[in-house]
Amino acid sequence: MSDLPPIQPLERNPVTYARHRQEVLWQITIPVLAGVILLLALGILAAVLGTANDQSQWADISLIWLIAPTLFMVLILLIITAGIAYGVMRLIDVLPFYTRRLQDFFILLTVRISRLDDKAVEPVLRLKTYRASLSSLGQQVNRAGDILRKIFEKGEI
């Protein structure tokens, strides 16, 4: 493994990398900074303009600004949950047909495998059957021979 040359990292294309960095600046960094500055400005404005009489109103406005992102995320989760529920309802309508087809396929597969198994074992079973038949025939011949021998020894024939 020490014979292999070290892997050199690929050099970036300077043109596309510069364009990427510029897009990151304009599409991510600046909008995030603008949002942070806007929220800070609204907070400072609320603190400066708020008087004793307006504190309740500004507190309510601040509370709305704090709750709004949470409500937006909950709305997204509600839409996702509704989509999943709708998908499950559609799946329940379609699923029994396809699960029945899958079950029939596996039953057919089981029958075919059983037939192949029987065909594979049949020569062995036939050989053992012939061997058992010959053994039984041999035992019967031996018994008949024993009986005939006893008969001849007694001189009955």
Summarised one tens digit per residue, pLDDT across range 7-60 is 666 677 788 888 888 998 999 899 999 998 998 888 788 777 766 666 777 778
pLDDT score, position 10: 66
Instruction: Calculate the CA dihedral of residues 15, 17, 21, 22 and round it to 10 degrees.
Output: 20
Side-chain half-sphere exposure of 9, counting CA atoms within 13 A: 3
Distance CA 119, CA 138 (A): 29
pLDDT score, position 107: 93
In this predicted model, what pLDDT tens digit does every residue of 87-112 receive, in sequence order?
A: 988 888 888 888 888 889 999 999 99
Say if residue 143's pLDDT is above 80.
Answer: yes
pLDDT score, position 14: 81
pLDDT score, position 2: 60
pLDDT score, position 112: 95
pLDDT score, position 48: 78
- Whether the predicted model's global pTM rises above the 0.95 cut: no
Distance CA 56, CA 33 (A): 29
Q: Which of 75-79, 90-94, 129-133, 138-142 has the lowest mean pLDDT?
A: 90-94
Side-chain half-sphere exposure of 70, counting CA atoms within 13 A: 5
Q: What share of the chain is helix, strand, coil (3-state, %, to 5)?
A: 85, 0, 15
126 to 111, 114, 131, 139: CA distances (angstroms): 22, 18, 9, 20
